Amino acid sequence: MIMQISKLNLLALLLMVFIGACSTPVTRPDNAPVMTAPEQPATPSQPQGEVVPPQAVAPSAQPLPAPPSRTYTLSAATAALVNQAHAQVTAKNLMVAASTIERALRIEPNNPLLWIEYSQVRMSEQNYYQAENLARKALMLANGDPHAQSLAWRALANSLRAQEKSDEAQQADARADALMPK
Amino acid sequence: MKVQLKTFFKKYWPHMLAVMLLPILLIGLWVLQLDHLITTQFEGRRWTLPAKVYAQPLELYAGESLSINELQTELRRLGYDQVAQVTQSGSYQLLKDRINLVSRPFRFMDDNRPERVLTIAFNGDHVRQLWDNKGQDIPVFRLDPLLIGSIFPVHGEDRIIVTPDEVPPLLPAALKAVEDRRFDSHIGVDPLGILRALWIDIRHGHFDQGGSTLTQQLVRSYFLNNQQTLSRKITEAVMAILLEAHFDKADLMNAYINEIHLGQDGDRAIHGFGLASEFYFGKPLRELQLNEIALLVTEVRSATYYNPRKHPERALARRNMILDILAHDKLVSVDDANRAKTMPLGLINGSSNASNYYPAFLDFVRRTLHRDYKDADLTEAGLTVFTTLDPRVQKRAEDALTTELNRLDKAARRKNESLEGAVVVVSSHSGEVNAIVGGRQVNYSGFDRALDATRSIGSLAKPVVYLTAIQSGRYNASTIVNDVPVVVKLSARSTWAPENFEHVANGPVPVVRALSESLNLATVNVGLDVGVDKIADEFTQLGLGHKPDNNPSIILGAVNAAPIDVAQLYETFANDGFRTPLRAVRAVLDENGKPLQSFPLQVSPAADPAAVYQINRMMVDVVQRGTAASAKARLGNLMVAGKTGTSSDYRDSWFSGFSGSHLAVVWVGYDDNSPTRFTGSAGALPVWTQIMTGIDTTSWDEPLPDGVTETMIDFDTGMGVTPQCDPDGLVVAVPQGTQPQMKDGCNTAVESHQQ
């Protein structure tokens, strides 16, 4: 925990240097309209993967500050389509529900919430392998948004459990729980 | 003698009667046979219906990047009429910051939607809001999709069936007035009509007047061939009478409207007024205006002689004559007829109609469908096919390829040969193919280069090599590799000694420079180190249809692939390491609108997303400062990733790259595989850039995957730098904890801040 805090401090400091220098060589493009800039863009997301210990031989280059976190929501258009898809799933009209989610994905292809919805349609179809892959795709896109990440981990856990991969499912659930805002 | 004759008759009268009755009997049998033919074939009246193929519909929603002008262009493409006040479907009213429209009824897979009245309000280049005529807010609305073609048999009939309520009432009235005045009263043939026609012909000294009733024309078209023999004329008359005996006039008129030949489009025969309306005017029959109806009636007499695209004067003269007849018969007012006579023919131009459909794209659709459907299903069963074609992207891709090839041809200064090219554009997250251009003659359905020109992919192979290297865990973007000459022993007698493009070896360079500057020697050294077999496997893993030979030359792209294959390969990069089969078809519906099959999005993990991200980040540098930097200025703020490809002796010029939402592959070369003088960045890249800057696409902006971090390095040495000590430093993505050592004189960022 202490390690993490000091790392955060370091990153925050590095960011200040950046702001001071006022020149980043690579300009990040504007985010898609569904993403809103958070209050404090400097907050780096907590590293999720395995952290390889830094090389101890000589001072190595610092990681750049993590990109600003993202918050994914559904726009009015995609929310309407998701509602429509839910009704179609309830009516057991699964082929059409999938096509409705694809309509929404055409509008916001990078929105992990829609990929999670798609994973759920595949779950209803008992197509668990596709449900898993779609959840993995959602997970990849959700990086930077803990809430979306948590939902994606949960969708992944459900698809894994349905395939009787209970150990993996449990781990995915644990990731989902850890990210869920208290 | 007399007695003898009498006995003869007495003895043989039954035989003689038989001889006399036989022809009557035979004729009776023949008529019965014709009657049977008519009742069986005409009763159900099932025309063979070619599958109708639609582009993807334009979605309208608040916040969409779409200007009022762009929407107007789309409405025109769909054949919507601009009017002062919207009343009928397929029309729109243009106001200062909004468009009112009445959409056409359309049967989507999930919704048989009636016409809708809609207002779309704009705010600059964006849609602000949509609402219906009750003031109800509409979150999202699909326009009816563009009909892009049909799958008709070779040398076959194409048609769109219309029901009587889809036919403007003036059309049957006009047909009667011009072709068959006594249609409502005659019995199928019209002796008076024939005499009248004969009389006019004799007076004019040539045979011009038909004299056939509409029923006879229908028989001729539906049952018979077009030979002008006496026996055929008699058969035609008998069948016409039989038809009239079995069916009522309204039924026969509707059959006529759907059956008759009204135009020719190469091998495709345009039958029926439903298709003719789309073919000539790009809109449904029910929306036709007076002058347009008159032109279609013109084509009844001879679609060849009065072909309005080839012989506009002839067609116009007869159209106006028909308008006069309609006014004379008081079917329309004289004023309306005179106004209609001042109208131009009003034909849609080549690029936006169903006749100049998209041959290369439809080729791909046909190949997709042939996996699941028999020929007869596609050409006869009346299927509806919803495809992924985006007409706006397709148009942009066609324009970009033709304009750039014209420019390149001038630069190439070759008299007798012109460059060719092909384009594939894909929605990168879904694998949906938005556009395919198969050559510079975009409407010519000949050799489809996008699907069939398998050419050497050259340096497009390099990202595959470096992806294999990064996945081995032994390389990252800052790893120093040796750009030094290498000689590979291929067999006892042959060796392979590749060279750099510039014929200079650069010595030690970081991976990111080797990739972005497309250094051959460094790449060969890396490729040999990670293993040719592993690279060959990676190609198939990523989605190349065939496994390349296990030969070191594949490292430099001695792999043959068509542009569509390259698109599938790069799709996996653009889609974060997930493989998604390219799709051109979304769904197929049967004749009654019931979904038969959908082709849903499928994803499967093909490569480590973290490794793919690292490669993609380097492909951004290809455009930022590598071989594709020439495109940077034109791309402006649009962040893209991509790779140039040039095969040996400049035979093939490639660029494959993607934004946040689209992947495009461009190939430029000569059909005979001769050298072009153009690298990937000189030939294919300008086409690619023109496409990407002309479509509604977003920047490449993938979130950083778990376990990967961004860091800044020196482009030449791969050492860590800070923005302070090296303003020219380059951001790369590397696995966490594998950042390179700091360059001498470059302290850590924290210290430099303290200075």
- Among A11, A26, A69, the residue to mutate for chain B (most B Cβ within 10 A): A26
Chain B: residue whose CA lies nearest to A142 = B703
Of B639, B706, B729, the CB nearest to A25: B729
Helix extents (H) in B247-333: 249-259, 272-281, 290-301, 312-328
Residues of B in contact with A103 (CB under 8 A): 59, 140, 142
Residues of A in contact with B59 (CB under 8 A): 77, 103, 106-107
Q: Which residue in B157, B166, B179, B517 is the catalytic one?
A: B179
Residues of B in contact with A37 (CB under 8 A): none
Burial class (CB in 10 A: 0-12, 13-18, 19+), B225: exposed
* Chain position carrying tokens 């005179």: B338
The angle subtended at Cα B12 by Cα B6 and Cα B17, nearest 5°, is 110
Cβ of A66 under 8 Å from any chain B Cβ? Answer: yes
Query: Are residues B741 and A61, on separate chains, in Cβ contact within 8 Å?
Result: yes
* Chain position carrying tokens 């993202």: A70
Q: How far apart are CA B683 and CA B412, in angstroms?
A: 10
Strand partners, B724: none
pLDDT tens track for B600-651: 999 999 999 999 999 999 999 999 888 888 888 999 999 999 999 988 778 8
What H or E segment, with its residue span, contains residue B158?
strand B157-159
Residue pair B396/B664 in contact (Cβ under 8 Å)? The answer is no
Instruction: Give me B4's structure tokens.
Output: 């003898």
Q: How far apart are CA B51 and CA B382, in angstroms?
A: 5
Residues of A in contact with B635 (CB under 8 A): none
Residues of A in contact with B709 (CB under 8 A): 63-64, 66
Instruction: Give me A17's structure tokens.
Output: 């240097």
Q: What is the pLDDT of residue A7?
A: 43
What dihedral angle (degrees, nearest 10) is formed by the CA atoms of B630, B632, B635, B641?
A: 100
Strand partners, B422: B667
Cβ of A107 under 8 Å from any chain B Cβ? Answer: yes
| pLDDT of A28 over the 60 cut | no
Q: What is the pLDDT of residue B210?
A: 64
Q: What is the pLDDT of residue B155?
A: 62
CA distance B378 to chain A (A): 22
Q: How far apart are CA B340 and CA B317, in angstroms?
A: 12
Residues of A in contact with B713 (CB under 8 A): 61
Query: Are residues B603 and A137, on separate chains, in Cβ contact within 8 Å?
Result: yes
Residue B514: which of B654, B666, B718 has the closest Cα?
Answer: B718
How many cross-chain Cβ pairs, A to B, lie less than 8 Å apart?
217
Query: Are residues B711 and A63, on separate chains, in Cβ contact within 8 Å?
Result: yes
Query: Are residues B605 and A60, on separate chains, in Cβ contact within 8 Å?
Result: no
Q: What is the pLDDT of residue B380?
A: 80
pLDDT tens track for A50-102: 334 444 455 777 777 777 788 999 999 999 999 999 999 999 999 999 999 99
Query: Are residues A59 and B741, on separate chains, in Cβ contact within 8 Å?
Result: yes
Give me the amino acid identity at B627: T
| pLDDT of A44 over the 60 cut | no
DSSP at B626: S
Q: How far apart are CA B447 and CA B455, in angstroms?
A: 14
Residue pair B353/B329 in contact (Cβ under 8 Å)? The answer is no
Residue pair B315/B302 in contact (Cβ under 8 Å)? The answer is no
SS3 at position A18 = helix
Q: What is the pTM of this model?
A: 0.82
CA distance A2 to chain B (A): 18
Residues of B in contact with A89 (CB under 8 A): none
| B459 counts as catalytic | yes
Give Cα separations from B507 to B129, B397, B483, B713 (angstroms): 59, 40, 5, 18
Q: How far apart are CA B259 and CA B214, in angstroms?
A: 11
DSSP annotation string for B117-155: EEEEEEETTEEEEEEETT--B-SEEEPPPPEEEEE--TT
- Among B389, B478, B601, the residue to mutate for chain A (most A Cβ within 10 A): B601
DSSP annotation string for A30-41: PPPTTB---S-T
Cβ of A71 under 8 Å from any chain B Cβ? Answer: no
Q: In chain B, which residues have pLDDT < 50?
A: 350-355, 749-755
Residue B664: which of B746, B580, B738, B566 has the closest Cα?
Answer: B566
Give Cα separations from B625 to A54, B512, B568, B616, B712 (angstroms): 29, 11, 26, 14, 15
Q: Which residue in B459, B518, B647, B653 is the catalytic one?
A: B459
Query: Are residues A49 and B742, on separate chains, in Cβ contact within 8 Å?
Result: no
Query: Are residues A66 and B704, on separate chains, in Cβ contact within 8 Å?
Result: yes
DSSP at B228: -
| B179 counts as catalytic | yes
How many CB atoms are closer than 10 A to CB B45? 14
Q: Considering only residues 153 to 182 of chain A, which have any Cβ-Cβ distance to chain B shorter than 8 Å?
A: none
Long-range contacts of residues A15-22, Cβ cutoff 8 Å, at least 24 apart: A15/A42, A15/A65, A16/B753, A17/B722, A17/B724, A17/B749, A17/B750, A17/B752, A17/B753, A18/A64, A18/A65, A18/B723, A20/B753, A21/B723, A21/B724
DSSP at A15: H
ipTM, 2 decimals?
0.83
Of B142, B737, B742, the CB nearest to A59: B742
Q: Which is more confident, B87 or A147? A: A147
- Among A57, A106, A127, A149, the residue to mutate for chain B (most B Cβ within 10 A): A106
